[in-house]
Amino acid sequence: MKKQDMNRDWIATARTLSQALPYLQRYEGATVVIKLGGHAMGSDEAMESFARDVVLMQQVGVKPVVVHGGGPMINKLLADLNIQSEFVNGKRVTDKATVEVVEMVLSGLVNKRIVQAINGQGGRAVGISGKDANLMICEQTHPDLGFVGTPVDMDPSIIKELGDENLIPVIAPVGAGRNGETFNVNGDTAAGAIAGALKADRLLLLTDVSGVKGADGAVLTSLNSAQIKQLTEEGIIAGGMIPKTETALDALKDGVRAVVILDGRAPNACLLELYTEHGAGSLIRDTEPRIKPHEA
């Protein structure tokens, strides 16, 4: 019989699993909404890794809900169709032709790719959009933006029903208007509205940056609402991070326990955030900041 020596990698793996126990217990039965976008959607390998993490999360008792974007894919199809698209203050101006492409890409191509990836890892995912079962009723955000919508009336019952059947909802950020319109909804905004409607334990916003950074450029691992407002007034939080932190603050007001802005480029980012002591990004909640990301 061949003797197999224990090596440091095996011991480290066992130690990591052992140390994860309190976090596994902490998040059992918790609803976690994940906004997927950026690098995590950019390759088959990244998608496979993300899907495996989501299936693992469900396997250990979490109720994951995935909300996704798809801007690069929309841009490509618009270009292929020779449809011009412009942006105002970072938001896509969406005319009737554009919103039809947006729905095709988000509810079709992108949504089903994520569903297939999760199912390929042994999960049972179902793709829907904000239009299904009146999940997300929207009003026009601004006339200059055309068919860009802001969620104003949420009915998360379909998400709860899917979760009760151990199905993983994968949601495209397309909403319905009260007069039958179709609205393009910013992915972060949709994820925040859905998390708020579910009173989720966590909203994870996967981005292509490592988190919210302070004046010295270092990632701030723990923030509260007052600190975010101050950093924004001082111009330290700027550019594309402003709408993400605004989404976080709105979600907290709607009853989400905490929001994490984290780097979706990091392998196993969601698992690192939920199941390790150090976390993986900037955790935002309405109470005083804490030293360890998982004391809440």
The confidence score (pLDDT) of residue 160 equals 97
* Residue 72 scores a pLDDT above 60: yes
251-296 confidence digits (pLDDT tens): 999 999 999 999 888 889 999 899 988 777 899 998 654 444 444 4
Residues 131, 94: Cα–Cα separation, whole Å: 17
**β-bridge pairing 182-184 and 222-224:** unpaired
Residues 273, 170: Cα–Cα separation, whole Å: 20
The confidence score (pLDDT) of residue 236 equals 92
Is 70 flagged in the annotation as binding?
yes
The confidence score (pLDDT) of residue 85 equals 76
The confidence score (pLDDT) of residue 4 equals 53
- pLDDT, greater one: 213 or 18: 213
Domain-embedded: residue 186: yes
Q: What is the mean pLDDT of the chain?
A: 89
Residues 197, 38: Cα–Cα separation, whole Å: 24
Please spell the DSSP secondary structure of the chain, one letter per residue: -------HHHHHHHHHHHHTHHHHHHTTT-EEEEEE-GGGGSSHHHHHHHHHHHHHHHHTT-EEEEEE--HHHHHHHHHHTT----EETTEE-B-HHHHHHHHIIIIIIIHHHHHHHHHHTT--EEEEETTGGG-EEEEES-GGGBSBEEEEEE-THHHHHHHHTT-EEEEESEEEETTS-EEE--HHHHHHHHHHHHT-SEEEEEESSSS-B-TTS-B-SEEEHHHHHHHHHTTSS-TTHHHHHHHHHHHHHTT-SEEEEEETTSTTHHHHHHHSSS-SEEEEESS---SSTT--
Active site residue 80: no
* Residue 1 scores a pLDDT above 80: no
Active site residue 244: yes
CATH code: domain of residue 142: 3.40.1160.10
185-210 confidence digits (pLDDT tens): 999 999 999 999 999 999 999 988 88
The confidence score (pLDDT) of residue 169 equals 98
Is 217 flagged in the annotation as binding?
no
Please count the structural domains in the chain. 1
Share of the chain above pLDDT 70, in %: 92
Is 26 flagged in the annotation as binding?
no
- pLDDT, greater one: 81 or 169: 169
The confidence score (pLDDT) of residue 8 equals 67
Share of the chain above pLDDT 90, in %: 61
Domain-embedded: residue 71: yes
Active site residue 211: no
Domain-embedded: residue 3: no
Domain-embedded: residue 17: no
272: containing domain? 28-284
Domain-embedded: residue 9: no
Domain-embedded: residue 1: no
Active site residue 38: yes
Reported pTM:
0.90
Domain-embedded: residue 160: yes
Active-site annotation holder among 244, 263, 279, 281: 244
Active site residue 229: no
